[in-house]
Structures are given as structure tokens and as C-alpha cells.
């Protein structure tokens, strides 16, 4: 098991927490909540060692496009980069959506 933390500059606030995915069957779980600083903080826990550079590249690219002030916890079960990107997009969509029930 490998764990690392990364930060990225950010400027856009999110509205709420979000949870997407499950950590099994080669997938991942993403827990997201609004941040307190002007940065995105990402903690990755992965069962696949030796891929930190790929994680850094993918997350840097994502947060260059989506500069959200968030705290993200990712629990990886061996997901592909495409699945990681999809889960990040899903989590951000949930976190910024304007709900009619509020």
C-alpha cells in the first residue's frame, strides 16, 4: 500500500461533499469535501506501488482544468487513469451542483 499527498493551486469553491465509486474490482473510491484554503489537497491511497508519477501527471492536468478548492481522498483499488478521471469528474459535478431541495 502506498500513500501520498499533493496540493494544487485553486480558486473555485464547491458547494458540498461528494462520494463516488467503490474500492473494489479494479475501481476506486473518491471522497471530496469543500476545502479551507486556496488550494486543492489530494491524498491518494493505492494498492499499486510505483505509479506516483502517473498520479501526479493526471491530477495536475485535472486541477489545471478544474481549479476547485477541495480536499480529496482517493482510495485506489487498481483503477486505470481513465477511471480516475471519470470519478474526479463525477465527484466535482456532484460537489458543485445546484440542488432544488436545498
- What whole-number distance in Å separates Cα of residue 94 and Cα of residue 102? 14
The CA–CA distances, whole Å, from 16 to 63, 70, 79, 85, 94 equal 18, 10, 25, 20, 8
- What whole-number distance in Å separates Cα of residue 18 and Cα of residue 14? 10
Q: What are the average pLDDT values for consecutive 10-residue runs of the chain, which has 102 residues?
A: 95 94 83 94 94 96 96 93 94 84 54
pTM of the model: 0.90
Q: Where are the domains of the chain?
A: 2-96
Structure confidence by residue, pLDDT tens digits, 21-39: 988 766 899 999 999 889 9
E-strand ranges in the chain read 2-9, 12-13, 18-20, 28-34, 39-46, 68-76
At 81 the pLDDT is 92
* Domain covering 2-96: architecture: 2-Layer Sandwich (3.30)
Amino acid at each position: 500500500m502506498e500513500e501520498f499527498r499533493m496540493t494544487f493551486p485553486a480558486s473555485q469553491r464547491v458547494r458540498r461533499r461528494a462520494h463516488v465509486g467503490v474500492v473494489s474490482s479494479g475501481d476506486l473510491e473518491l471522497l471530496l469535501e469543500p476545502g479551507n484554503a486556496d488550494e486543492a489537497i489530494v491524498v491518494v491511497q493505492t494498492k499499486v506501488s510505483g505509479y506516483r508519477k502517473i498520479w501526479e501527471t493526471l491530477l495536475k492536468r485535472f486541477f489545471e482544468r478544474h481549479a476547485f478548492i477541495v480536499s480529496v481522498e482517493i482510495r485506489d483499488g487498481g483503477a486505470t487513469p481513465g477511471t480516475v478521471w471519470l470519478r474526479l469528474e463525477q465527484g466535482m459535478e456532484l460537489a458543485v451542483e445546484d440542488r432544488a431541495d436545498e
